[in-house]
Structure 1
């Protein structure tokens, strides 16, 4: 015990020392280059950095000039295009707003576009000289006479595009510090109006601030006459006024020069914005250019030394932080801080936990694999008994692939093993042992098929008969397939007769590439049992070797009967009538005389009676009205038999079935409709909806069409489109946002919406929107 605790203490100490020493070494290696950089930066780089700062400052001045000239040039080009737009033609000279309300609203909307043509423009106005008004996106402003004089003076200039300062832009006295005037027409000496673009002061200030390298300097713009374009702030007013006076008196062009003011030396740069006629000036204290270099060198050195002093403390703290994820992982896997394993055992502990998880995963996979045979057996039973009648070939093959049974390039045949002789002398089993016999025969048959390398799946009918659904490649020859099944049949007879001491008959069915025909193969195989020779103890019957005439004599339309009973169970009126007609046609084709047809209908009548008893329809005329079997035998001809069976047997059952189903169907559909209205934006499949409404997909689909008049998918689409119409006309949401909110991708939504309404969502909004 003491040895364990000693080891635990040692490993814990070593763990902490390892993290701390490793981090100290890393910090030392990191700090040494920082000290070297600080010294070289301070000693060598100071002068070079100052030179680069001056070059950068000069380059910034040139970039500002290009930027401002580019923006004014862009505005000039855009306004030239707008002036040539017929919307701003000479008809506006005698234009009346009240007589042209729609055109006025269109002009107001257009001014919004004009105003957003440049970041430099805040608002756009259309000045009409004759109307003495300004038209903008916000409305119409009629100007005072004093304001109109300023507009008249500006429009009298010879140029078509120019700047104006402190121009009134409303009847309330609001002014624009700087405005761009573009005459309409621009070349006319007597224009009927002009575009008035109010330049955004904040944007000008932002561009001017771009010139300023520090907080202690100043930057400003001067007009041609020497006034400030925008008044400088109070903190920069003194320096700006002195610098403006110096520039106007001594430096008419552009360049860079030193300027002293209040014991501080400034580097001053200035130039011209040619298109606007502005002079831009920027001044930066020389100390601000060099001070960051000195301070950065000092701080790098100080931080490096401080890092060396804090290395030990940080290593201790970091070691705890680095170990924290391992501790959390240990706690998550079933231990805690007080009971964590020794350091050298931690990885072993994690490995053990990982192996435990892997073993559990393996166990779950094995359980899943163990359940596959039972799933296969259930699928095969449904298949051979005809319960998968509604599934198509592709669906059946897909389900087989999911169950690990490859179906591609395969053909199928059925071996039916029938056991008899239970009541003979020397029998090993009793009457109550039928299921046990079937179970034992199934196991033996499956093991024999596996030992011979035959792809076979067991079907246990629990009635002293089992089936083997065999599969083979479509590339096998007919002789190879026949020899394979003949050998398998001989082995089955030999083994089963020896072990169970019963008579064994093996019927070999024909091969088929269609899975959907397997129920028909089973029916034919069961019919072939009647050809068993009574004098033989064991026998193999190959259906391909039977005489076709014998098969025709013994045939009965079992497949058509099964299909008819299936659709009758589902309550399908049209399908029932159609399949009854197919049944009668097939029965007449294989019957030699009218008596055979009557016998076939009597058999069908018995099958229907059995189905009605299973379903609980005891109120059917078959159970209440006289002797229907005698009525059938008294009918004069086959045509009368057809009509009698349809009117007396099938239609009364379907009417009662549908009446019973309508009430439940309406309730289920109402529940499904409410579910779709609540969750229409999600992709709810028919299978999910039917499961949540506690019904089958087929019944829900059929009932949905009967109750609502729409197919399931069509109803969801109409529900989504109706909701989309509501959102389009009552909310300002974007079209892509509306598409996502109703469960569609944007591109597909446009296609579906236009297919339903004949218009795109945007066109629909323009036509029906209630939003002002």
Structure 2
């Protein structure tokens, strides 16, 4: 028979857990952590993809709106210039007028040019070139200036000889300023008939750059407009054939290699990836291409932030699930641990069993076997115990017992006591025969086969 040590075990499970603890921990972890992990991964994948599409769609919408706004502003300026070209104040009579002598006419021209300039905020200055006996340029800012440079005069007359009545010029300088490159809208005057001059609307550089800056999708990028020859019309640094940065120059060359008029592509420059969007629009016969480039890292910054938030929340939920799983597994394992502690003998096996359920099953079977053996032995010894009880009763050892106590004792020895009464008859034979009979009576009282000496009534 095995030796069992029964003691109060601490509530804390042993340092080395068995197979049941590991299985229960894995089951609880699967129940609590798998849904959290699946939700987190799903949110990360679907959320990142959705946010990326939303950011790209939003940027494209902003770009289209900015391009429409620029187109609308330039269209309005073209319409305004055409209306002024047909104004009677710019009729053919100015061809033969000496503006230096005709003070009234000159003052009217100043006022008209000032009104034209203030009518449209995008315009910086308005000049009127008159190709008379003495070619001059009239402006509200510089007054009347004679065209003294042969190159300037040739440039003005080349514009007048063009078949188009109005067009845009990129890098057309102001009079007597060869290095003053601007963007200008030119319209012949008068609008009908043989032209004697041209109206020149010089755009404000800062405002034009501001319009182009609206095309930009972020700080880490660039926006600019180029003409059909790949020359810069406007950049974020200036207007009228400005010098582009190395990145803008390389990107402009890349745009020229694309046969399509518009599109979007990824462009790598010095280890950085940019998303490039370009499109074209025509301004009175002049073909311009707008280009905007944004760093892919800056565009995906909101996506990364949301993705990190999703991952952070998922990790937090996973940690909480781990903690709850650990606590739940301890609670589940606690009864098993106590049962193992009741059966485990450290003197025979210092280490806890590796399989708690198998260990408990083995001990349970062992206890059942021992219990069955003890019950069989008890059943075999019960007749002798009854005889011994009767002898002690006859000899007066139980005189101090009450009837209830005697019933309990007899019930423990296997007699059925419910609704029954017992009568004990003692016979004694005197004499020599009686002596042998007395011994016989004692034998009858102690023999299992003579239990009928206790007769039920």
Q: Does residue 269 of structure 2 align to residue 261 of structure 1?
A: yes
The equivalent position to 2:281 in structure 1, one of 273, 279, 284, is 273
| Structure 1 equivalent of residue 203 of structure 2 | 199
Q: Does residue 159 of structure 2 align to residue 157 of structure 1?
A: no
Deviation at 1:299, TM superposition (A): 7.8
The equivalent position to 1:217 in structure 2, one of 221, 228, 245, is 221
Q: 1:39–1:297: 8 Å Cα contact kept in structure 2? A: no
For 1:356-371, list aligned pairs within 5 A.
none
Deviation at 1:300, TM superposition (A): 11
> How has the CA–CA distance of structure 1 residues 296 and 202 changed in structure 2, closer, same or farther, with 3 Å as cutoff?
farther
SS in 2 for 1:70: helix
Q: 1:254–1:272: 8 Å Cα contact kept in structure 2? A: yes
Deviation at 1:162, TM superposition (A): 0.6
Q: Does residue 151 of structure 2 align to residue 146 of structure 1?
A: yes
For 1:554-593, list aligned pairs within 5 A.
none
Q: Residue by residue, what CA displacement relative to the aligned partner does 1:647-683 show, whole Å, maximum 9, x if unpaired?
A: xxxxxxxxxxxxxxxxxxxxxxxxxxxxxxxxxxxxx
TM-score w.r.t. length of structure 2: 0.53
Deviation at 1:39, TM superposition (A): 11
Q: 2:67–2:215: 8 Å Cα contact kept in structure 1? A: no
For 1:139-538, list aligned pairs within 5 A.
139-143=143-147, 144-173=149-178, 175-188=180-193, 190-230=194-234, 233=237, 237-275=245-283, 276-295=286-305
Deviation at 1:165, TM superposition (A): 2.7
Deviation at 1:167, TM superposition (A): 2.3
The equivalent position to 2:83 in structure 1, one of 81, 84, 100, is 81
> How has the CA–CA distance of structure 1 residues 167 and 95 changed in structure 2, closer, same or farther, with 3 Å as cutoff?
same
Structure 2 distance, partners of 1:186, 1:46, is 58
Structure 2 distance, partners of 1:101, 1:187, is 26
> How has the CA–CA distance of structure 1 residues 115 and 41 changed in structure 2, closer, same or farther, with 3 Å as cutoff?
farther
Q: Residue by residue, what CA displacement relative to the aligned partner does 1:457-509 show, whole Å, maximum 9, x if unpaired?
A: xxxxxxxxxxxxxxxxxxxxxxxxxxxxxxxxxxxxxxxxxxxxxxxxxxxxx
Q: 1:168–1:176: 8 Å Cα contact kept in structure 2? A: yes
For 1:672-687, list aligned pairs within 5 A.
none
Structure 2 distance, partners of 1:259, 1:156, is 42
SS in 2 for 1:167: coil
Structure 2 distance, partners of 1:300, 1:236, is 41
Q: 1:134–1:169: 8 Å Cα contact kept in structure 2? A: no
| Structure 2 equivalent of residue 72 of structure 1 | 74
The equivalent position to 1:58 in structure 2, one of 54, 57, 60, is 60
Deviation at 1:154, TM superposition (A): 1.3
Q: Residue by residue, what CA displacement relative to the aligned partner does 1:310-329 show, whole Å, maximum 9, x if unpaired?
A: xxxxxxxxxxxxxxxxxxxx
Structure 1 distance, partners of 2:87, 2:191, is 13
Aligned residues: 265
Deviation at 1:185, TM superposition (A): 2.2
> How has the CA–CA distance of structure 1 residues 39 and 186 changed in structure 2, closer, same or farther, with 3 Å as cutoff?
farther
Structure 2 distance, partners of 1:231, 1:69, is 16
Deviation at 1:116, TM superposition (A): 2.2
> How has the CA–CA distance of structure 1 residues 301 and 246 changed in structure 2, closer, same or farther, with 3 Å as cutoff?
closer
Structure 2 distance, partners of 1:47, 1:251, is 30
> How has the CA–CA distance of structure 1 residues 203 and 41 changed in structure 2, closer, same or farther, with 3 Å as cutoff?
farther
The equivalent position to 1:136 in structure 2, one of 134, 139, 162, is 139
Deviation at 1:223, TM superposition (A): 0.8
Q: 2:222–2:248: 8 Å Cα contact kept in structure 1? A: yes
Contiguous gaps of at least 5 residues in structure 2: 1-39, 313-457
Q: Residue by residue, what CA displacement relative to the aligned partner does 1:575-604 show, whole Å, maximum 9, x if unpaired?
A: xxxxxxxxxxxxxxxxxxxxxxxxxxxxxx
SS in 2 for 1:250: coil
Structure 1 distance, partners of 2:178, 2:125, is 16
Deviation at 1:123, TM superposition (A): 0.8
> How has the CA–CA distance of structure 1 residues 282 and 172 changed in structure 2, closer, same or farther, with 3 Å as cutoff?
closer
Q: Residue by residue, what CA displacement relative to the aligned partner does 1:90-131 show, whole Å, maximum 9, x if unpaired?
A: 100011123321221121011011112323211111111114
SS in 2 for 1:98: coil
> How has the CA–CA distance of structure 1 residues 126 and 236 changed in structure 2, closer, same or farther, with 3 Å as cutoff?
closer
> How has the CA–CA distance of structure 1 residues 299 and 104 changed in structure 2, closer, same or farther, with 3 Å as cutoff?
farther
Q: 2:264–2:275: 8 Å Cα contact kept in structure 1? A: yes
Structure 1 distance, partners of 2:181, 2:280, is 23
Q: 1:46–1:290: 8 Å Cα contact kept in structure 2? A: no
| Structure 1 equivalent of residue 114 of structure 2 | 112
Structure 2 distance, partners of 1:197, 1:154, is 14
Deviation at 1:297, TM superposition (A): 6.6
**Alignment root-mean-square deviation, CA:** 2.9
Q: 1:267–1:285: 8 Å Cα contact kept in structure 2? A: yes
Deviation at 1:187, TM superposition (A): 4.8
SS in 2 for 1:180: strand
Contiguous gaps of at least 5 residues in structure 1: 1-37, 303-772
Deviation at 1:41, TM superposition (A): 8.3
Structure 2 distance, partners of 1:252, 1:128, is 42
Q: Mean Cα displacement is larger for which, 131-140 or 192-201?
A: 131-140
Deviation at 1:57, TM superposition (A): 2.1
> How has the CA–CA distance of structure 1 residues 259 and 250 changed in structure 2, closer, same or farther, with 3 Å as cutoff?
same
Q: Residue by residue, what CA displacement relative to the aligned partner does 1:250-299 show, whole Å, maximum 9, x if unpaired?
A: 23411111222222221111111222521001111211111233336758
Q: 2:187–2:200: 8 Å Cα contact kept in structure 1? A: yes
Q: 1:269–1:283: 8 Å Cα contact kept in structure 2? A: yes
Deviation at 1:47, TM superposition (A): 1.9
> How has the CA–CA distance of structure 1 residues 93 and 174 changed in structure 2, closer, same or farther, with 3 Å as cutoff?
farther
Deviation at 1:301, TM superposition (A): 10
Structure 1 distance, partners of 2:44, 2:95, is 71
SS in 2 for 1:186: coil
Structure 1 distance, partners of 2:248, 2:301, is 23
Structure 2 distance, partners of 1:301, 1:119, is 50
Deviation at 1:227, TM superposition (A): 0.8
Q: 1:176–1:198: 8 Å Cα contact kept in structure 2? A: no
Larger Rg: 2
Q: 1:154–1:164: 8 Å Cα contact kept in structure 2? A: no
> How has the CA–CA distance of structure 1 residues 278 and 172 changed in structure 2, closer, same or farther, with 3 Å as cutoff?
closer
> How has the CA–CA distance of structure 1 residues 108 and 260 changed in structure 2, closer, same or farther, with 3 Å as cutoff?
same
Q: 1:176–1:199: 8 Å Cα contact kept in structure 2? A: no
SS in 2 for 1:154: helix
